[in-house]
Structure 1
Amino acid sequence: MEIKVTTQNSRVPVTIIHIDGNLDSSSFTKFQKTAEELIQNGSRHILVDLEHSPYVSSAGFRVLSQIFKELNAIHPDTNLSENEMKQGIIDGSYKSPYLKLVNLSADTKAVFVTTGFDMYIEEYDDLKTAIASF
């Protein structure tokens, strides 16, 4: 798996992590380390581009969940308590403003929906629209 990182400006700077290859048990640590370093170095809005990643395993989804938690924890301007955020996820009124995905394969999208990640992480079919959503 190869990872390329770019930054584009929308209303805020958006860090884009482009994944090339499967995001699975043999590669998730590289993805996790990259994301953690980006967050430590100031990235606050992350878009994960999976256009060249045909497969995301449960290990990859665990890293996405961890990134979600880390980004929410460092945003002091969040006006919701953890309980309010959880309730918003349940009732469909909350989606992460800090982490989004783009270009999921059909198989990855099916797992994304089945596992409930779509309840709190937005996904897009094209990069331009995804960047503009921040």
Structure 2
Amino acid sequence: MNIVKLSHDQPMPVTIFQIEGAIDVQSADDLVREATAAFGAGSRNMLLDMDKVTFLSSSGLRAIHQIFTMLRDETPEDADAAVFGGISAGTYKSPHLKLLKPSSDVQNVLKMSGFDMFLDIYQDHGQALASFQ
């Protein structure tokens, strides 16, 4: 897996991770490390560009969930009960982590695992960036 990190500052600062290859047991920790480093440097909004992701394993799902949790824990108004209740009701989407252009196979994995219930998935780069408010 290869990860390119980009920054976008308008309308909100967003760190974009362009991911290429498989997110699996051998590479998932690399994604978490990159996101954790960006978080440590002050990034609070992240977009995972999955256009070139060829495979997403359970380890990849774990990595995405770790990033979601790291960003959510930073926001005190996102109390656990409200978040989990909102996910169950279909009314909560992460304001800090979004996904861009997963392939149909990767999107099926995200849907089957329920990640589409709490993460917005975009096909348009501009719309994804504009969604951070």
**Matching of residues 104-123 of structure 1 within 5 Å:** 104-123=102-121
- Paired position in structure 2 for 1:56: 56
Flag structure 1 segments of 5+ consecutive residues without an equivalent: none
**Matching of residues 5-20 of structure 1 within 5 Å:** 5-20=5-20
TM-score relative to the length of structure 2: 0.95
Q: Which runs of 4+ in 1 moved over 4 A?
A: none
TM-score relative to the length of structure 1: 0.94
What is the aligned length?
132
Flag structure 2 segments of 5+ consecutive residues without an equivalent: none
**Matching of residues 71-90 of structure 1 within 5 Å:** 71-76=71-76, 78=77, 80-90=78-88
CA distance in 2, matches of 1:10, 1:57: 32
- Paired position in structure 2 for 1:127: 125
Amino acid paired to 1:129: Q
- Paired position in structure 1 for 2:91: 93
Calculate the aligned-residue CA RMSD, in Å: 1.0
CA distance in 2, matches of 1:127, 1:111: 21
